Amino acid sequence: MNNDKVETLRRFVAILDKPGNTFASAVTLESLRVTIRSSIEILEFLFNLGFSYVLTNKLNQDCLEKFFGIIRSMGGNDDHPTILNF
């Protein structure tokens, strides 16, 4: 079952790799490729460890983004703190 899902992702990457895809910009297509290939790698890694499923919507950096948002908001008008300010 899990291999079917990974294989579906592989087929989608193959579609993205075909020349003539104009539904998105080259940068967007490359970003999709990177994201999907990364997802495939982490899924295979976790399935090999014995996981029976993975909640891929939990694979994000929302907590980290929130933390940096809090740090930036502490800077007042300066929302791009330097390393020293951080």
pLDDT digits (tens, 9 = 90+) for 56-77: 888 888 888 998 888 878 776 7
Q: Which amino acid is at 34?
A: V
Label residue 9 by pLDDT band (50, 70, 90): very high
pLDDT tens-digit map of 16-57: 888 887 788 889 889 999 999 999 999 999 999 999 999 988
Question: For the whole prediction, is pTM greater than 0.85?
Answer: no
Distance (Å, whole) CA 3 – CA 53: 11
**Does residue 32 sit in the same domain as residue 13?**
yes
> What range defines the domain where residue 79 resides?
57-86
Residue 29 and residue 21 in contact, taking contact as beta carbons nearer than 8 Å: yes
CA 28, distance to chain mean position in Å, is 13
> Are 61 and 50 in a shared domain?
no
CA–chain centroid gap for 46, Å, is 16
* 15 in the same domain as 48: yes
The whole-angstrom separation of Cα 3 and Cα 65 is: 32
Supply the DSSP symbol for 27: H
User: How would residue 86 be classed by pLDDT, with cut points 50, 70 and 90?
Assistant: low
